[in-house]
Amino acid sequence: MSCGAELKEQEIDGFPRRVCTQSECDFVLWRNPVPVVAAIVEYQAQIVLAHNKLWPAGIYGLITGYLEQYEHPDQAVLREVEEELGLTASIQSFIGHYASEQKNQLLLAYHVNCDHGEISLNHELDDYKLINKQDLKPWDLGTGLAVRDWLYTQVMNKD
């Protein structure tokens, strides 16, 4: 537990950390990355991109959500797809892990498939669009790197 005193910046292990100003308190604010799952959702042979209500107009992305305590990432990604799209998914592959320094997150990206059902957006989302695989373009950070890697495997698996 911390004493509640003011924090100051101090270098620990080569990184600036916020530490307690009281000598008898050993509190360090580590700010460890938050684990987040991301899904490239394949639905009716297309990819689902969704718009979060908090995002600027015209910005669409993958289905994402926080990994809960005691939850396996495989379970978390399936839960997020069900919560956000109302679809039951099956994992096709783990794509990879990606550091998102901008948001202090560790992204765990999957390709999932939803064979049936109707998309029903939850309270976080207000729109979605379906993109043909060949029209999907990666973006330069965060989940866009997972899209890039997944698209590469799609091309390689055609040979």
**pLDDT of amino acid 134:** 93
Q: What is the pLDDT of residues 43-97, one digit of tens each?
A: 999 999 999 999 999 999 999 999 999 999 999 999 999 999 999 999 999 999 9
Residue 23 has pLDDT above 90, yes or no: no
Cα separation, 19 vs 6, in Å, equals: 8
Q: What is the pLDDT of residues 100-138, one digit of tens each?
A: 888 899 999 999 999 889 999 999 999 999 999 999 999
Question: What domains lie within the chain, and their CATH numbers?
Answer: 1-31 (no CATH), 34-156 (3.90.79.10)
Total residue count of the chain as it appears in this document? 159
Instruction: Tell me the whole-structure pTM to 2 decimals.
Output: 0.85
